[in-house]
Structure 1
Amino acid sequence: MTERPPSATARAPRPRRGALPAAALGLVLLVGTGVWVGASPGADEAPAGPPRALAGPRTTTVPAERGTDADSAALGRWVTTWAAAPVGPEPRATAPDGEVTDRTVRNVVHTSVGGTGARVTLSHRYGTAPLHLAHATLALAAGPGSPSAVPGTVRRLTFAGRTGVRVPPGGQVVSDPVALPVPADADLLITTYAPASGGPATYHPRARQTSYLARGDHAAAVSAAAYTERTPGWRQVVALDVRGGGARGTLVAFGDSLTDGVSATPGANRRWPDVLADRLRTQGGAPRYGVANLGISGNRLLTGGPGRPAANPSGLRRFPADVLDRSGVRVVVIALGINDILRTPHTTDPTRITEGLRTLTRHAHAHGLRVVGATLMPFHGHRGHRPELEEVRRAVNAGIRAGGVFDAVADFDRAVRDPYHPEALHPHYDSGDHLHPNDAGYHRMAEAVDLGALRAAAPARL
């Protein structure tokens, strides 16, 4: 890839569309079963020593495409149209200890691909007591970011045929399928009501999307009148799957704040995985994949946060649950390692990072997945920059470009760096902190992904 500075007329990300009114709602209700499990991640890796083979637990939810029902055969496999990684227990924010008691949570999520049926995955990974969800719904949002629903689209979610469900600490539930025409590139509302606390809510704090809270049970409400409280994070919900829309599989974007989109415009869906989803949906000949963003701000490859289960677990630890358990996964794009270098304790041996990335690739290959890996982007001018850390970053990138780490490379470093000062982001792409890109930078990162490299193919021999 040749390096090119941006022109003064560089393309701005296009405006996003909001939810579209449902077109044909008289569909037959799809039959399915929600399964709850009690798996809980264990302790994280120690910061020293070579990366170990992945041993993180998997949830035992049975993917719908493995079933034998006629609906599955007629409508095709499940793919993930939206996802978020559970990060940790919510701190004191909306109630004591971040508990959700007698509250309705209305999460606003954005689809990458559409379908004719949908299901929702809810997580209680960081709960300390069983969580009773008395009522849950799915609906199309009336407009971009709106907590109001399109009239006639609110669907009550059931779990193994029941409207309520009990989720054990550390577990998750998958709803039964519902018939709902789900547009691509649209906002949906995933709403849950918990009459009592199950301990701290499992959440994703830096959503770059406003969601809403209401006192009492308003899960079935079309109006936004009761939703008087705003929140910047997603609670309980970790995935939205669709089928019947023709998508061939799921692409998982696995990374840190640069994937999470911490500096993207809130509510505009301009993170690089969003822009990549646009490219996959609109460019002729591109593979038709749903895109699941499993980035976590502050995430490291080798070490994770405190607690059992660990908050913000390492990439090595969370890969099985966050990547392999998504529906219909065909390819994963990995962009991890910069926090291992930048944050204390610093990882100053580049081979530990490249070997950790290679471990993820081997594990993905064992499950038939193709892996595209990104080079580490520059951070000169950031408060944590030191010359010796820059040398580690360059050595990691040299190892990635040399091959033997991933099946293919997305050169994010070359795409967004200043060609006249390669240790720094180009000013056109810099959000201002000299580490995170702005919307134009995220757009450029997505352009650096070769769409042809995303096609499922025989994994490279490492």
Structure 2
Amino acid sequence: MTRAIKVRHLLAALVAATALAPPTVRADAVPAADWTGTWEAAPTGTTRALPGDTVRNVVHTSIGGSVLRVRVTNRFGSAPLRLGSVTVALQRRGRPGSPRAVPGTVRHARFGGAPSATVPTGRDAYTDPVRLRVPAGANLLVSLHTPDDSGPATYHRSALRKNFVARGGDHTGDEGGGAFRTTVRSSYYVTGIDVLDARAAGSVATLGDSITDGIGSSPGTDHRWPDRLAERLRALPPRRRLGVLNAGISGNHVLRENVGPSALDRLEDDVLSRAGVRALIVLEGVNDIKDRPGAAHPAALEAAYRNIVVRAHARGVRVIGATITPYRGHRSWTEAGETVRTAVNAVIRDGGLFDAVADFDAVVRDHAQPQRIRSDYDPGDHLHFNDTGMRELARAVDLAALTPRGPRPARHP
């Protein structure tokens, strides 16, 4: 029996079971290589917990599927995380930033068949498969009830949208949004969504800092450059289409811990362990340069990039290096930092490290003042990019460089 037939039989059994009862099939019952990542938010650290409350996160899919699973995290917590209930639903269309679910789409997730779970300190966990048809480019509501104080909450700081909190009680099953009267600008506990039966060949991860995280783009619009890349990829035939996983963290460094672990330290958790990853785009290094220009020697960054490439290649993942964009005019700019940036970009372009290069610097720089970004791409801080600039970054990626070659690599569930 072929793998495709086995998966169809599994899905048929899952659908039949969930017609009578909540899904109880474990995530590890599905072959790891058959999951595909559709969304990610890399954990950045911890914030105040929400004991007794329900948090409703809004996540934007890149590709669709017929079944999903949620990856929840207690990676930076100081105590086991107890989850009383977790649900997934489609967000109701209409007014942006609504906590309301499409009627009839709320699904209760389970963990090993149980309605609640405890996630150990320093770990992530997957829900069992949840039967919900997930459209590409849609918003999902992922709601989690934390019945007691499990210590600091692992979160992604810059969600660039409104998420919601309902105080005092389990409101994960609510279709309406009346209980969700508090808004937050971060994502709590949820670090990934994977789908089955995706019309795609896998996913591409984007490892980066605040530019990849989307700072400078319009909140609530999903105009980060990885989102715009996902729009381009959705227009391709399924054999070339990829989901997009945004592993950007504002303030992140390549060489050392700053906001979140360094890119080197988080490569496994935020990229290589993700479902169906076939390619990786690396846009990171400007924080190393501008924050510590004397310590960010080009040779040190070159060695770090080489480390990333070697580890990715060992997992069958292609790596695209993106040149570091200009930032003159930002308060952190110095001549010394510019010298390092220029040298590092030469390594990225001509050093033979990467499978391909996305020359972001060439696309967005002001050709009259190449140490600066173009004014029509600048949100005002001379470092990040507005919606137009984000679109141009996405356009600079050669989609052919992302096209998977060979069989899909297996992924650990």
Cα displacement (A) at 1:432: 0.6
Say whether residues 1:325 and 2:270 are aligned partners.
Answer: no
The equivalent residue for 1:140 is 90
Task: Please give the residue correspondences for 1:13-412 in structure 2 after superposition, counting only pairs within 5 Å.
Answer: 27-28=15-16, 29=18, 32-33=25-26, 64-66=30-32, 77-90=34-47, 98-143=48-93, 144-215=96-167, 216-283=169-236, 287-305=240-258, 312-344=260-292, 346-412=294-360
Task: Provide the aligned C-alpha RMSD in A.
Answer: 1.7
Cα displacement (A) at 1:247: 1.6
Select the structure that is richer in helix.
2
1:229 & 1:386 partners in 2: Cα distance? Answer: 42
Offset from partner CA, 1:289-314 (integer Å, 9 cap, x none): 11110000000000003xxxxx5100
Cα displacement (A) at 1:64: 3.5
Count of aligned pairs: 385
- 1:321 to 1:440, Cα distance in 2 relative to 1, 3 A: same
Cα displacement (A) at 1:139: 0.2
| Counterpart residue type for residue 120 of structure 1 | V
1:116 & 1:286 partners in 2: Cα distance? Answer: 18
Offset from partner CA, 1:55-80 (integer Å, 9 cap, x none): xxxxxxx59424xxxxxxxxx81111
Cα displacement (A) at 1:415: 0.7
8 A Cα contact 1:286 1:452, kept in partner: no
- 1:112 to 1:85, Cα distance in 2 relative to 1, 3 A: same
SS at match of 1:318: helix
1:63 & 1:326 partners in 2: Cα distance? Answer: 17
Offset from partner CA, 1:143-163 (integer Å, 9 cap, x none): 243210000000000000000
2:181 & 2:293 partners in 1: Cα distance? Answer: 42
**TM-score, structure 2 normalization:** 0.90
8 A Cα contact 2:36 2:198, kept in partner: no
2:51 & 2:42 partners in 1: Cα distance? Answer: 23
The equivalent residue for 1:453 is 401
Share of identical aligned residues, percent? 45
1:147 & 1:182 partners in 2: Cα distance? Answer: 17
Cα displacement (A) at 1:209: 1.4
The equivalent residue for 1:417 is 365
- 1:433 to 1:351, Cα distance in 2 relative to 1, 3 A: same
2:222 & 2:290 partners in 1: Cα distance? Answer: 27
Cα displacement (A) at 1:286: 7.7
8 A Cα contact 2:293 2:337, kept in partner: no
- 1:336 to 1:196, Cα distance in 2 relative to 1, 3 A: same
8 A Cα contact 1:429 1:440, kept in partner: yes
8 A Cα contact 1:370 1:457, kept in partner: no
1:407 & 1:419 partners in 2: Cα distance? Answer: 27
SS at match of 2:38: strand
The equivalent residue for 2:4 is none
Offset from partner CA, 1:192-233 (integer Å, 9 cap, x none): 001101100000011101100001110000000000000000
